[in-house]
Structure 1
Amino acid sequence: MPSAGRLGGAAVLRLLLAAQAVAAFEPVTTTLVVGGALSLLTGYLYKNPPCRFSECCLVERPFDAEALKQDLEKKLFGQHLASEVILKALTGFKNNKNPKKALTLSLHGWTGTGKNFVSQIVAQSLHPKGLKSNFVHLFIPTLHFPHENQISLYQDQLQKWIRGNVSACASSVFIFDEMDKLHPGVIDAIKPFLDYYEQVDGVSYRKAIFIFLSNAGGDLITKAALDYWRAGKKREDLQLKDLEAMLSVGVFNNKHSGLWHSGLIHKNLIDYFVPFLPLEYRHVKMCVRAEMQARGSAVDEDVVSRVANEMTFSPKDEKVYSDKGCKTVQSRLDFH
């Protein structure tokens, strides 16, 4: 086998791409291939930029908390709680050189309130390519785990996939969308990876990040926000302590949640239950303005009002919160 010092750039590129290809399709084999490639390339990579040829995870990137803060402030509307919790959780976790467990966030709220949007922002703050990164993995229950009679198979596949990818990149990010559509029991397969173990079968998962997105608990969050509104209080006065305990219990007991009676909740392995508040009329207008700006268009307040006015709001008599959040803003703006 040639020494690392004798490797040419083309050879290094081929090895890195081969390792990436295996990581993408055969998680079980990833450890062997990447392990061999790393031992061969160590000397070379000390003398050359490690990410010169392809995306890599050999050197940890400095975490830019200020950039994440600005992204959340500019792009996420009406979610003071979510912004604060996510920023603090990620900053603390990334600044800890020896975390005791993987960071696990569970985002809850009505559709269109920004959960998916935030997961994209977080992914890009951790890996420059965001959701397109080889080290960010998105799972959709209706696509990846559709059959209730194959839960054991899904659990086995999920463990192998996570093990292989964390072996390749310790700071891998795993996003589970639509947790309310996941068959109960599937997610418990990853419990060992979220626990306080130094290693599991020779692999450390302590620098990985797991994010769950769910509509479950949205009704509880909306009720709490509505009670605040009816009492004449500002939504910005709501704090995490007002919602988190209620949210975790509600999700645990919700039969339509992938976390129903989950060991992840029972063993307190989810670090934060992050509530996304229902959006008001003013927030919908913010979304419309942001979408117009993103398209390079001048903001036309008449159009902004027309789009916002076409949304449906609840409760029926008070019409405080948008039923779909900002979910349909893009399509309605297309129409106008």
Structure 2
Amino acid sequence: MVLRGFLLLQAISSILCENGYFNGMYFGAASALYIGMDHFKVPCYKYECCTVGTGRVHWIHNDVTKLDTLLEKKLFGQHIATKILHHQLGAFLLEPKPEKPFVVHISGKTGTGKNHISNLIAQARYAEGVESKYILKIIGTHKYGSLDHDTATKLMKKEVAEHVRKCKHALVIIDEAEKLPEGTLNAISPYLDKNVAIDGVDYRNTIFVFLSNTAGNAIRNYTETQLEAGRQREDIAVLEMENLIQEHLYNSGELKHSSLISRYQLDAFIPMLPLEKRHVQQCAEEQLKQRRNKCGCGDDPSCISTRANEIANQIDYSGRFSRSGCKKILTKANLVCPLDRKSEL
């Protein structure tokens, strides 16, 4: 790009010089200025950079429209999560200079979509999606599980600070947070406040996502009780679930007596409700739509729905809820609809 610009500038310069407009000295100065101004952008045409906006050199899009589309088409049975992310995370992504980082705790049983949501956030924020180098994922059972409190605390602070220093528009995902040594998350409490910078690192544009199973049973039991009492699933409100989760977390798990709660540093508590068969079927339909052969259905929605129901029937249920959520959909889809390997190539 710089070379093409240089050659273009040289050609224009030659024409102007022939007509006596300026001499070679001015051309040299103009060329140097052009290269100096554009040179810093060159790597960003090819390699991911911490650049916000749209266009070829911008890799951080903060695309709220894409976030809403992904939530609508790829997240099933989670009306509270959809509402919180649409309003609260959406507002954060649109704010060029937020006062503090966005901090969300997502709790629920296996297969309800905790990691799925973090992937959707990554896809909406980064051009590279889940492959972005600006995503830091810390797993409670990896490295941290065997550490004592002090060592875990120091490592957590170091990992997060070093990562956000590279790009303040980072996404920090802490998975299996309940497996961390008790009190570890308090180490990053200063990073979650309205601080301009800590040791030269600005965290205000960073998104922190805590994934946990701590309140999973409480969420499942509460949901079941409400449905048995005759309430519609979609009538379960944000505030009642937030109070339930917050109380549960403060008395047990990774946020037991944590300053993150007492100092109101978490912006949202998202409950991942247990999934019913209709939601599992939606997951199965989405899985089939991603396959080129579509299980012999082509683009026929009726056929896809029928085959998705067959897949959903292969899932184990406890009462009205799936034991594994949508976690086994891929393997069950391979059982019900073996891949046509030739059409998949």
Asked if the contact 1:130/1:136 (under 8 Å) is kept, the reply is no
Do residues 307 (structure 1) and 311 (structure 2) align? yes
Who is 1:113 aligned against?
112
The equivalent residue for 1:160 is 158
Larger RCO (CA within 8 A; separation ≥ 6)? 1
Work out whether residues 136 and 163 of structure 2, in 8 Å CA contact, stay in contact via their aligned partners in 1: no
Which whole-Å CA distance do the structure 2 matches of 1:326 and 1:59 have between them?
34
Give the TM-score normalised by the residue count of structure 1: 0.81
Following superposition, the deviation at residue 224 of structure 1 comes to 2.3
In percent, how many aligned pairs have the same letter? 33
Residue from 284, 288, 291 that aligns with 1:292 = 288
Alpha-carbon distance, 1:47 to partner: 7.3
Counterpart of 1:36 in structure 2 is none
In the TM superposition, what whole-angstrom CA distance separates every residue of 1:115-165 from its partner, at most 9, and x where no partner exists? 11110010121112122211011111111312143x322322221222222
- The residue correspondences of 1:13-28 to structure 2 (distance < 5 A) are none
* Structure 1 contact 179–259 (Cα < 8 Å) conserved: no
Q: TM-score, normalised by structure 2?
A: 0.79
Q: Which residue of 2 aligns with 1:136?
A: 135
Are 1:248 and 2:252 matched, yes or no?
no
Say which is worse superposed, 266-275 or 89-98, in terms of deviation.
89-98
Preserved CA contact (<8 Å) 1:113 1:278 = yes
Corresponding residue to 2:46 among 46, 50, 53:
53
TM-aligned CA distance change 1:175 to 1:45, over 3 Å: farther
Using the alignment, how far apart are the partners of 1:309 and 1:62 within structure 2? 39
2:237 to 236, 239, 242: 239
Tell me how far apart the structure 1 counterparts of residues 218 and 279 of structure 2 sit (CA, whole Å).
20
Tell me the CA shift for residue 305 of structure 1: 2.9
Q: Secondary structure at the match of 2:106?
A: strand
CA distance in 1, matches of 2:103, 2:181: 19
Following TM superposition, by how much is the alpha carbon of 1:50 offset from its aligned partner in structure 2, in angstroms? 6.5
* 1:260 corresponding residue in structure 2: 256
Name the aligned partner's letter for residue 228 of structure 2.
Answer: R
What secondary structure sits across from 2:48 in the alignment? coil
RMSD: 2.4
Q: Indicate the SS of the match to 1:51.
A: helix
Unaligned runs of 5+ in 1: 10-41
Structure 1 residues 70 and 301: alpha-carbon distance in aligned structure 2, compared to 1, 3 A threshold: closer
**Structure 2: where are the runs of 5+ without partners?**
7-34, 54-59, 298-302, 337-345
Counterpart AA for 2:127: P
